[in-house]
Homo-oligomer: A and B are copies of this chain.
Amino acid sequence: MTDGIVERSRPRDRILETARDMFHKHGIKGVGVDAITEAAGTNKMTLYRHFESKDELIVECLRANAAKAGAMWDAFDAEFPGDKLAQLHAWVRKAAAMLNADGRGCDMANAAAELTEPDHPARLVIKELKEAQRERLVTLCRDAGIGQAELLADTLSLLLEGARVSVQTVGSEGPSTQFVRMAEGLIASFRGAAAG
């Protein structure tokens, strides 16, 4: 009974939240709409009144995930207003904390692995949301005064993405344990280099 989340709220919200949780835990193709609606304390007809298909529900879940990630960034800015470097270090800490939180990787990456049809509606939003996240990290690095901001941001992105899949494949005791060390080393190294 781990998939609860049946607090009283509007059915659409319950369905969205439950679907996010279950997609994350069991994968997209591993969860049927019946299971979602049951866990959300409602029924299939209500789901199809709010979402025209399972695919649209998937897309909506991905967007909701991105919104939550965006809120995380805003929290960094609120916690260290103006101090971009502190925000970057906060990003590293937060990323590492989420690594050990659960053994499931990034929902977008997992969705991309599952939804292989090249024209699946989810693929477009995955790409656009990932690009937005990259842009945000690049901007943070640049505003933190780092010279090769793009390269650092991309390296950190790949490291984190890799750490997530590593946790998923070999567990949290594998290479991902070194993520903070790698990331901090990189930031220090890039800070040491000449700024543009």
Contact residues of A with B, CB < 8 Å?
Answer: 25-27, 29-30, 104-106, 108-110, 112-114, 116, 126-127, 130-131, 134, 151, 153-155, 157-166, 168-171, 174-176, 178-179, 181-182, 189
Contacts and interface: CB of A to CB of B under 8 A. Distances in A.
A179 B158 contact: yes
A27 B114 contact: yes
Contacts of A30: 29, 114, 116
Contacts of A164: 165
A169 B132 CA distance: 12
Q: Most B CB atoms within 10 A — which of A112, A151, A153, A160?
A: A112
Q: Most B CB atoms within 10 A — which of A155, A182, A189?
A: A155
Nearest to A108: B169
A171 B124 CA distance: 11
B113 A168 contact: yes
Given A158-B166, A161-B161, 17 more contacts: A27-B113, A30-B114, A109-B165, A112-B165, A112-B169, A113-B165, A126-B170, A127-B170, A130-B170, A151-B178, A153-B175, A157-B175, A158-B176, A158-B179, A159-B162, A162-B165, A165-B165
Given A114-B113, A114-B114, A134-B174, A182 B169 contact: no
B165 A106 contact: yes
